[in-house]
Structure 1
Amino acid sequence: MRCLRPLRTEVGLVVALGTFTLFFFFNLHMSPPTCPGLKEPPSTPLALVWPSPPPSRPLSSSCQANASMASLPDFAKQPQHIRNFLLYKHCRDFVLLQDVPPDKCAQPVFLLLVIKSSPSNYERRELVRRTWGHERQVHGFLVRRLFLVGTDPNPLEALKVNRLLAMEAQMHGDILQWDFYDSFFNLTLKQVLFLQWQETRCTNASFVLNGDDDVFAHTGNMVTYLQGHNPDHHLFVGHLIHNVGPIRFPWSKYYVPKVVMEDEHYPPYCGGGGFLLSRFTATALRRAARTLDLFPIDDVFMGMCLKREGLEPASHSGVRTAGVQVPSSRLSSFDPCYYRELLLVHRFLPYEMLLMWDALSQPNLSCGKRTQIY
Structure 2
Amino acid sequence: MVLLLATGTFISVWVTDHSLLSNQWSQEWWEKVSTNPAYLASPTVPSNTAGGHTEPHTKPHTKPHPEFQWETLGPYHVAYPRNYVFVLDEPDACSTEKPFLVLIVPVAVKNRVARNTIRRTWGNESLVLGKAVRLFFLLGLPSGKGSEQLQADVEKERKEHHDLLQSNFLDSYRNLTIKTMMMLEWVASRCRNASFAMKIDSDIFLNVHNLVKMLLDPKTPKQNYITGHLARNAVVLRNKNSKWYLPADVYPDPRYPPYVFGMGYVFSTDLPKKLVDVSKRMKPLFLEDVHLGICLKQLGIQPKEPPSPSLFKVYMPGPYNRCHYASIITAIVSNPAKLLRYWEDLHKSNTTC
Interval containing the TM-score (normalised by the shorter chain): 0.7 to 0.9
User: Does the 8 A contact of 1:149 with 1:176 survive in 2?
Assistant: yes
Equivalent AA in structure 2 for residue 324 of structure 1: M
**Aligned partner of 1:306 among 291, 296, 318:** 296
User: Does the 8 A contact of 1:216 with 1:348 survive in 2?
Assistant: no
Q: Which residue of 1 aligns with 2:72?
A: 69
Determine the C-alpha separation between the residues in 2 that align with 1:290 and 1:52.
Answer: 32
**Aligned partner of 2:315 among 297, 314, 323:** 323
The structural deviation recorded for 1:101 is 5.1
Q: Unaligned regions of 5+ residues in structure 2, if any?
A: 1-48
User: Does the 8 A contact of 1:116 with 1:211 survive in 2?
Assistant: yes
Do residues 182 (structure 1) and 171 (structure 2) align?
yes
1:175-254 equivalence runs, <5 A: 175-229=164-218, 232-254=222-244
Q: Which residue of 2 aligns with 1:133?
A: 123
User: Does the 8 A contact of 2:88 with 2:167 survive in 1?
Assistant: yes
Equivalent AA in structure 2 for residue 325 of structure 1: P
Q: Which residue of 2 aligns with 1:168?
A: 157
1:134–1:90 Cα change, 3 Å: closer
User: Does the 8 A contact of 1:212 with 1:274 survive in 2?
Assistant: yes
Per-residue CA deviations over 1:84-140 (Å, capped at 9, x if unaligned) read 555x53554223221125234423211100111011111001011111011511111
User: Does the 8 A contact of 2:122 with 2:206 survive in 1?
Assistant: yes
SS at match of 2:123: coil
Per-residue CA deviations over 1:218-273 (Å, capped at 9, x if unaligned) read 00111111111466323211111121232222221112123422222210111111
1:280-291 equivalence runs, <5 A: 280-291=270-281
**Aligned partner of 2:89 among 99, 113, 116:** 99
Identity of aligned residues (%): 29
What value does the CA root-mean-square deviation take over the aligned residues?
Answer: 2.6
SS at match of 1:210: strand
Q: Unaligned regions of 5+ residues in structure 1, if any?
A: 1-47, 71-82, 327-332, 368-374
Equivalent AA in structure 1 for residue 335 of structure 2: L
Determine the C-alpha separation between the residues in 1 that align with 2:274 and 2:97.
Answer: 23
Equivalent AA in structure 1 for residue 247 of structure 2: P
Equivalent AA in structure 1 for residue 324 of structure 2: Y
User: Does the 8 A contact of 2:333 with 2:339 survive in 1?
Assistant: no
Determine the C-alpha separation between the residues in 2 that align with 1:59 and 1:264.
Answer: 27
Determine the C-alpha separation between the residues in 1 that align with 2:274 and 2:81.
Answer: 21
Per-residue CA deviations over 1:194-236 (Å, capped at 9, x if unaligned) read 2112222111110111110010000011111111146632321
1:100–1:191 Cα change, 3 Å: same
The structural deviation recorded for 1:296 is 0.8
The structural deviation recorded for 1:325 is 1.3
User: Does the 8 A contact of 1:57 with 1:84 survive in 2?
Assistant: no
1:209–1:68 Cα change, 3 Å: closer
User: Which has the larger Rg?
Assistant: 1
Per-residue CA deviations over 1:172-208 (Å, capped at 9, x if unaligned) read 1111111211122211111111211222211111011
Determine the C-alpha separation between the residues in 1 that align with 2:235 and 2:149.
Answer: 39
| Poorly superposed stretches of 4+, deviation over 6 Å | none
